[in-house]
Amino acid sequence: MPTDFRATRALFDLPERLCYLDGNSLGPLPRAVPARMAEALEAWRSRLIGGWNEAGWMALPGRVGDRIGRLIGAEAGHVTVGDTLSIKVHQALAAALELRPDRKVVLSDSGNFPSDLYMAEGLLRLMGEGRALRLAEPEALEDAIAEDVAVLLVTEVDYRTGRRHDMARLIEKAHAAGALVVWDLAHSAGAFPVRLARLGADFAVGCTYKYLNAGPGAPAFIYVAPRHADRAPPALSGWLGHEAPFAFDLAYRPAPGVERMRVGTPPVLALAALDAALDAWEGVDLDDLRAESLRLGDRLIEGVLAACPSLALATPREPSARGSQVSFRHPDGYAVMQALIARGVVGDFRAPDILRFGIAPLYLGDAEVDRAVATLAEVLDRRLHDDPALRRRAAVT
């Protein structure tokens, strides 16, 4: 049966009269989360330290990881959850580099999320030995893959423009050149079908607070392909990545498989929220999700281009070349977005001039898209963004 997106919408606690198109930055609250967190709090209250065994807390990273794995096309037992996305980028990149010890170059693109590039710079500086981060323009990334590249570090969907890299082509080209690939799925997981195993991905990481709706600061995930899982060196050799944590050995021995990518104590309350949020995906066909996402994205693009001639489309028109967000450029983009938000239509802004709108069919439909178009047209036609108060930038844009 086709996915009933009217039914999935009822699973989210969205404020009345708010048109929310910012799930590509922070997803809304799933209705199942408060009760699940209350259960975790009660287990903490009543069982105290016994909860690690009696409530299954220690197994949460792998169990929840498998639930995410089904959304990103991973093999069972090869995704674990915990820590932050930056830490997971560091782990995956360090492991991939050590698997290619004869090469010194990490290749990425200028559209990658800055945090990924910062983590790469810091790691390469620590490793020394002439290692370098090389950047290409997003459209030229495939052609920049050369025989000296150790690792290709790619965020599949550009956080600003929504442009989507061709995962299959980049993996094929990188592997042919002898390089490994680390994928950042922050704007992919829960946005459209991802097929890591089918395409032969090496490593992947991602966050869970965007399209997976797990809440602010929710933990990140890491995937390691089976062929690398028992060979990938864990650069952050944390206690819970040890083969036998409760033997309390003084020397580190990595756990088998992806378990070695665990670092610190599982964030139990955050994992409870994530586990509950993933319930919304039960019965959702990801191909249906993609079709609805593209339909709504086209509706937004066509509506805005017809009603708002002062905006320039930053997102590719070609469906296969975009993720699940639509972005426009405007020289007063920040003020325009603040005017929209003041009128109950929530997207966000990315410097220098990008207005972003996330398309999340689990809780968005035609009515929200049409309201966004009409409100944006009103703001621009009446120059409501000229209010000086709307130009004062908050700490988070």
Averages of pLDDT over each 10 residues, the chain, 397 residues? 94 96 98 98 98 97 98 98 98 98 97 97 93 97 98 98 98 98 98 98 98 98 98 96 96 97 97 98 98 98 97 97 98 98 97 97 98 98 93 88
Cα-atom radius of gyration of the chain, to the nearest Å?
22
Residue whose structure tokens are 């398309």 = 359
Alpha-carbon distance 375 to 72, whole Å? 35
Alpha-carbon distance 213 to 13, whole Å? 11
- Name which of 110, 98, 196 is nearest 153 in CA terms: 110
Return the percentage of the chain with pLDDT > 90, whole number: 97
Alpha-carbon distance 182 to 180, whole Å? 7
Per the structure block, which two tokens stand in for 123? 């790691």
Alpha-carbon distance 357 to 347, whole Å? 5
CATH topology for 5-30+285-391 is Aspartate Aminotransferase, domain 1 (3.90.1150)
Could you read off the pLDDT of 126-185 as tens digits, one per residue?
998 899 999 999 999 999 999 999 999 999 999 999 999 999 999 999 999 999 999 999
- Name which of 290, 282, 223 is nearest 257 in CA terms: 223
Which phi-psi region, left, alpha or beta, contains residue 17 (left: φ > 0; alpha: ψ -120 to 50)? left
Burial 253-283 (b: 16+ CB within 10 A, else e): ebbebbbbbbbeebbbebbbbbbbbbebbee
- Name which of 12, 21, 29 is nearest 216 in CA terms: 29
Please give the CATH number for the structural domain made up of 33-281: 3.40.640.10
Alpha-carbon distance 32 to 34, whole Å? 6
Per the structure block, which two tokens stand in for 272? 């409870």
Helix (H, G, I), strand (E, B) or coil at 69: helix
Q: How crowded is the C-beta side of 98, counted as CA atoms within 13 Å?
A: 14
Q: Where are the domains of the chain?
A: 5-30+285-391, 33-281
Residues tagged active-site: 113, 184, 209-210, 356
Alpha-carbon distance 325 to 189, whole Å? 13
